[in-house]
Amino acid sequence: MAELKYDKKTGRLLFTKQMKKDYTILIPNMAPIHFQMLENVFKHYGYKAELLRFTGPEIAQTGLKYVHNDTCYPALLVIGQFIYALQSGKYDPHKTALMITQTGGGCRASNYIFLLRKALKKAGYPFVPVISLSFGMEKNPGFALTISLVRRFVGGVVYGDQLMLLSNQIKPYEVNKGETMALVDKWVQKLSDMLVAGKGYTLEEIDENLHKLTKDFSKIEVDRTPKIKVGIVGEIYVKYSEMANNGLEKFLAEQDCEVCIPGLMGFAAFKVDNRIEDYKMFGGNRIKYEFCKMLLDYVTKLETIMVESAKRFNFVPPQQYSHTKELVKGVIGYGSKMGEGWLLTAEMIELADMGYENIICTQPFGCLPNHINGKGAIRKIKEIRPNANIVTIDYDPGAPKVNQENRIKLMLAVGREELEKKLKENEEESRK
């Protein structure tokens, strides 16, 4: 058993170099395609990383035992999933560490890590170290975010976004069922192998790989019978996590819909740009400001590559962050940046413009920024985008799934009427 060491100033339990050799690091699973590649990259760097795949109502109930019930739903689920895993018997708690992101912003970006440590003590696991996946907020002798590791992470996010985009646009129309996801699995493994081998993360390599994979997906045989197009927005964890949104994507597939979920690259650009806006509004460190400008420029170049590769093969491309940001001018201020901030409002306008005007805004219990920038902006959005058909769905441990799905079905009924109306108009126009 590794010797436990603590930070002298804070008393925080450290993840040591010895632990790196022996400990399994558990990671909450949010976006399966993206995180599978990131899991493989971690393993290459000598970490015994494992994505948690425990799901079910018992996860939320476990979270409720160790976290105050007024805490936001994503925190309940993430912490509940961690503790459920430790209690499952699958892992040796004395050789297990937990990893969670920490960016220093409001809400989950800062507080989850402290809530998790408090919950671990309450559950009888004070000896389980928690690793902060952050840029220098908390340091551990056995873990470091190196430049090469970060570059591989960025590559994984780009590829994950593109695979998610392509699969969502093809899967509802594929002639041979299962072909799309089989191709996703093939490319996830192929790209993981590249990233592990130290390839596939320069701009030139990303451009080449995106061209190849997009071309590969364009060859899948499809039947383009028109379907209802649905966009999903909301708090980042609930938006992507099947466990958090009660299998929302699967439900929409059963309702014969095509789904669009904005990618992680836009959220990454939003977080970087917030630092730039902070400097403009309040002043601060000029060096950090210039660094963030360079970083945003790099993200923009990656977005351009993604857009061009999608357009090249006639897919609906992802939107660039600069365009998304322009959409909320006069709607909401750029100072609204807690959680998803103004980006949530912008994504709803963007989806309406892209043809995904039927929009589900996933709202976790206890997420005030989400309610303000989501539900609170709907009236204004409908004023400027009358085609937007938006429904807000609350997610919490006590919300019945059937009620959530019934509200979505009502939204889809309106969407189906509009689709039939457009098809009829197009048919009449073609006869003239």
- The confidence score (pLDDT) of residue 131 equals 92
Lowest mean pLDDT among 28-32, 47-51, 101-105: 101-105
Indicate the average pLDDT of the chain: 91
Q: How many CB atoms lie within 10 A of CB 268?
A: 20
Kindly report whether the global pTM for this prediction surpasses the value 0.75.
yes
For the residues 315-326, what does the mean pLDDT come to?
95
Residue 107 has pLDDT above 70, yes or no: no
CATH number of 17-145: 3.40.50
How far is 392 from 378, CA to CA, in rounded Å?
9
What percent of the chain is predicted at pLDDT more than 90?
A: 69
Residue 109 has pLDDT above 60, yes or no: no
Give the dihedral of Cα atoms 381, 384, 390, 395; nearest 10 deg. -10
For the residues 11-17, what does the mean pLDDT come to?
91
Higher-confidence position of 30 and 388: 388
pLDDT band (50, 70, 90) for residue 244: very high
Residue 53 has pLDDT above 90, yes or no: no
Higher-confidence position of 325 and 40: 325
Q: Which helix (H) or strand (E) holds 26?
A: strand 24-27
- The confidence score (pLDDT) of residue 136 equals 66
For the stretch 376-428, pLDDT in tens is: 999 999 999 999 999 999 999 888 899 999 999 999 999 999 999 988 888 88
Q: Are strands 96-101 and 228-234 parallel, antiparallel or unpaired?
A: unpaired
Q: Between the CA of residue 360 and those of 74, 88, 403, 422, what are the distances in Å?
A: 17, 34, 14, 21
For the residues 105-129, what does the mean pLDDT come to?
86
Domains 17-145 and 227-262+319-431 share a fold: yes
For the residues 111-125, what does the mean pLDDT come to?
92
Lowest mean pLDDT among 2-6, 348-352, 416-420: 2-6
Nearest to 155 by CA among 311, 302, 28, 322: 302
Overall CATH class of domain 227-262+319-431: alpha beta
For the stretch 256-299, pLDDT in tens is: 999 999 999 999 999 899 999 999 989 999 999 999 999 999 99
Half-sphere exposure in the Cβ direction for 165 (13 Å, CA)? 27
For the residues 232-255, what does the mean pLDDT come to?
94
Task: Give domain limits for the chain.
Answer: 17-145, 227-262+319-431
For the stretch 183-224, pLDDT in tens is: 999 999 999 999 988 899 999 999 999 999 999 999 999 999
For the residues 19-42, what does the mean pLDDT come to?
89
How far is 167 from 163, CA to CA, in rounded Å?
6
